[in-house]
Structure 1
């Protein structure tokens, strides 16, 4: 019984220390929106990179990799952005 109570107290203390209430998501709506946008940008970059005609075009060797890297950058931003306080 005491072990059960100490586990419950420990989990509550940990939740209070992290400033997160139980049942609350770590990311906010904005984080998920930015993450979806970043996935779309990366997918668009790969679409630009695909195809079999003219494999040495500027679009495929310069623009598409820049678009993919920008999408990964947006993904990092989405993860690291602090959610808005309520």
Structure 2
């Protein structure tokens, strides 16, 4: 039995290129950072209210960072890595 050469085997076609995946990884890291910033602020005792849950970081900053991360993900999906720069 002969082994087939690798020259005839087709290469798998990926939807995205390396640049797309790098930008996607950056977007996922930004989204994760936003969720990390949202964490905490709870109270150990359910009878005690902790107003830290409504501070700027959890109400304004973290959701904004998550939305920016989703924007980066959309950009990564729409990015055309084969596009040439005009010179």
Provide the TM-score with structure 1 as the length reference: 0.69
1:23 CA displacement: 1.9
Residue 33 of structure 1 corresponds to 22
Distance 1:81 1:32 in 2: 10
Find runs of 4+ consecutive structure 1 residues off by over 4 angstroms.
Answer: none
Residue 46 of structure 1 corresponds to 35
* Greater CA drift, 52-61 or 27-36: 52-61
SS at match of 1:55: helix
For the pair shown, the structure with the greater C-alpha radius of gyration is 2
1:22 CA displacement: 5.6
Instruction: Please report the RMSD computed on the Cα atoms of aligned residues, expressed in angstroms.
Output: 2.0
Provide the TM-score with structure 2 as the length reference: 0.68
Distance 2:81 2:11 in 1: 16
Gaps in structure 1 of 5+ consecutive residues: 1-20
1:80 CA displacement: 0.7
1:26 CA displacement: 1.7
SS at match of 1:84: coil
Aligned residue pair count: 66
Gaps in structure 2 of 5+ consecutive residues: 1-9, 43-51
1:83 CA displacement: 2.3
